[in-house]
Amino acid sequence: MTFVITDACVDVRDKSCTEECPVDCIYEGDRKMYINPVECIDCGACEQVCPTNAAFSALALADRDDAWNIQDNADFFQEPLSDAGALGTPGGASHLGPVGVDTARVAALPPRG
C-alpha cells in the first residue's frame, strides 16, 4: 500500500516530505503535494517529517471521513490535469519540478489563510 498526502497540505506545501523521500515520489501541484502511488515504496519517511500531519498510509486513511484523499492522490497521476494529458509515472519528481495544477477537487477547495 502507498502513502497519501491529505488536504491538510493544501496551501501549506512545507516540502519537508520531499527532502526525506528516498525515491523522489512526491510531486508538487499548485496548492498541494501528491505521492505517486506506483513509485512510493511505503517507507513512511514523509509521515515522520510532515509538520501538518498530512501524510498517512492509505491503509490508515481508508476508514476515515477524509478517505477521498486516497483516490484524489491517485487521480493527480491518472487523470488529465492539463492539455498535456495524464502525468502517469514520470520516474521522479525532482527532474520534473512543480506541476502547477491540482486535481479538480483540490482546486475547488477554499483558500486557507
Q: How is 46-74 classified by DSSP, letter by letter?
A: HHHH-TT--EEEHHHHTTSTTTHHHHHHH
Give the CATH fold of the 3-80 domain.
Alpha-Beta Plaits (3.30.70)
For 46-68, write each residue's pLDDT tens digit.
999 999 999 999 999 988 998 99
Q: Output the pTM of the full model.
A: 0.95
Quote the DSSP letter at residue 28.
E
- Domain residue spans of the chain: 3-80
For 14-55, write each residue's pLDDT tens digit.
999 999 999 999 999 999 999 999 999 999 999 999 999 999
Alpha-carbon gap, residue 7 to 19, rounded angstroms: 20
